[in-house]
Amino acid sequence: MRARGLAVVLAVAVLAGACTSDDGNGSEPTATTTGASTDVVDGAPTPDDDDSTGAVPSFPDDDDPLPVDEAVLIGQLDNGVRYYVRANDRPGERVSARLAIDAGSTLEADDQLGAAHYLEHMMFNGTESLPENELVRVLERFGAEFGPDVNAFTSFDETVYSLTVPNDDETIGTALDVLVEWASAATIAEQEVENERGVIVEEWRLRDQGYVARYLDAVVDRLLGGTAYADRLPIGTIDSIRTLTAEELRRFYEDWYRPDLMTVVVVGDIDPPAMVAEIEERFGPLQNPTDGPVRPVLTVPVPSEPTFVSLPDAEAPLTVIELNYPSSPLPLATVGDLRRALAEQAGFLVLVERLEARARSEGGGFFDAGPAANELGRAQRAPGVGVLAEGGTLDVAAEALLTEVERLVRFGVTDDELDRAVLQLLADVDQDLLESGTRQDDALADLYVGHALDVALIAAPEDSHAIRTRILDELDADTVDAFVTSAITTTEPLVIASGPLGAEVPDEDELAAILERVREADVEPPSAGAGTATELVAPPVPGEIAERFV
């Protein structure tokens, strides 16, 4: 596993309550940009009064809007329900549907901790027209299996339900009926709440007793402490799970499951205009509450001091040093937004290349450098980089990592390094285009959920390829330097050191001392050919010919 995998995998495994009626594991749609991927999805727009982004270059076409794939029908009903409808023949004869609710655990009142996730469970325990057993029978008639075909997840910011069904008219109509029932007619019966309590307690136990939970608790405390996200993990607390009542769940449902916070996504073997009519017929009559609470726009302050996590743990699967640079989320609506995202990615790729070259040439007990990010909520982004390390060398690895960041900030990237980073990103862009014709219904449906609730690039494949290729071809070292320096210097880092017991994990004071030492050190500019590959082994010495056969 690359270093970048640690934060991403742990956050996905614990942060979102992904479950079905049998408590299986589901998948969370990608909602952040991580690593070298150029399917850019990031956070909500930065508030106008946020000055955390720093001075960055501008270009004549920066304000031009990014294109949207005309194959996607995007609209909004009079009551506020939004929809994304797209015909797609991969895999064919199937339809993927989503009901996305722009409400997650951050909207819970103090007496509702865990309610968003608990409520997600309750949806599979029956609705007004489809009591529990009938709902299960209906879903099974689809040929659907819980987990791969019927699923849901809850995060800090949203709750999303998904169905995958055959594309005959009757089945699609019934699937839409199920989504409407979940949206507006959950029963939340007291006995069913009690019946589900033990399932969620067990889910909490499984989540709470492992390294993954301890890692996430520490990172959430540093990145989100003191904000609306603090103390709002979707799973809730063991006390809240044991005491939540049907009335408290119903109150959350009535406050936040409402048309103006809903998006319906349907992708598959369908006639899009006819599907829009079906959505309007079923979701159009839903009404918003007359006195419903205002959905707050959440923000997370940019940190003014560095923070540290030291996590020696008997169950730690890897020995890791990781840096995150938390800041306000960025929009992705214009050419300028995309330019910034790609320039930042290029800069972090140069950083990774330098770390890999340093590990090859100097050793130092670290290896496998890669981009890393703890993207925990829509109100904050946290790009970064990490390395795996050998036990007993985490302090050396931390100093090397921080030194290369300091070198990048002080001296920028070289033209040769930028050329290599751009070539890597261009290869990703080309690969995306090659694979676009085989993009599956589920992947497209999840992308549109990301666009509806966050922001995402949903241009037609050819348009996406063209605009990203053009921006990458235009990138120069000055532009990359400005954007990546802004991402690093307008915030303070979170430095994470983690490893199994016996790995000599530096404590927080030691990490702080390493950071201070690096910031005060004389750092040399990158040498000529920095980051380029060197010989892994010396060439063999030629031997002497002992005998020739003619």
CB atoms within 10 A of CB 474: 14
pLDDT beneath 50: ranges in the chain: 1-14, 16, 20-54, 533-534, 536-537
Cβ proximity of 329 and 381 under 8 Å: yes
Kind of pairing, strands 494-499 and 320-324? Answer: antiparallel
Kind of pairing, strands 307-312 and 494-499? Answer: parallel
Helix 335-362 and helix 415-435, axial crossing angle in degrees, nearest 10 = 120
- Distance separating alpha carbons of residues 463 and 191, to the nearest angstrom: 53
49: left (phi over 0), alpha (psi -120 to 50) or beta: alpha
Amino acid found at 115? A
Q: What is the pLDDT of residues 287-312, one digit of tens each?
A: 999 999 999 999 999 999 999 999 99
Strands ordered across the beta sheet of 383-389: 307-312, 494-499, 320-324, 383-389, 366-373
- Distance separating alpha carbons of residues 324 and 305, to the nearest angstrom: 13
The pLDDT of residue 44 is 33
Q: What is the pLDDT of residues 202-251, one digit of tens each?
A: 999 998 889 999 999 999 999 999 999 999 999 999 999 999 999 999 99
The two three-digit tokens of residue 426, written as one number = 């261009």
The pLDDT of residue 24 is 34
C-alpha 24: how far from its chain's center?
Answer: 21
The pLDDT of residue 10 is 44
3-state helix, strand, coil in the chain (%, to 5): 45, 15, 40
Nearest Cα neighbor of 328 from 48, 87, 123, 85 is 48
Measured at the CA of 488, the angle between CA 487 and CA 494, to 5 degrees, comes to: 115
548: left (phi over 0), alpha (psi -120 to 50) or beta: beta
The pLDDT of residue 527 is 82
List Cβ neighbours of 305 (8 Å cut-off, separation of 6 or more). Answer: 492
The pLDDT of residue 19 is 63
Nearest Cα neighbor of 236 from 251, 249, 218 is 249
CA dihedral 37, 38, 42, 48 (to 10 degrees): 140
The pLDDT of residue 136 is 79
Helix (H, G, I), strand (E, B) or coil at 269: coil
Most distant pair of Cα atoms in the chain: their distance: 99
- Which residues are 462's β-sheet partners? none
What's the first-to-final CA gap in the chain, in angstroms? 52
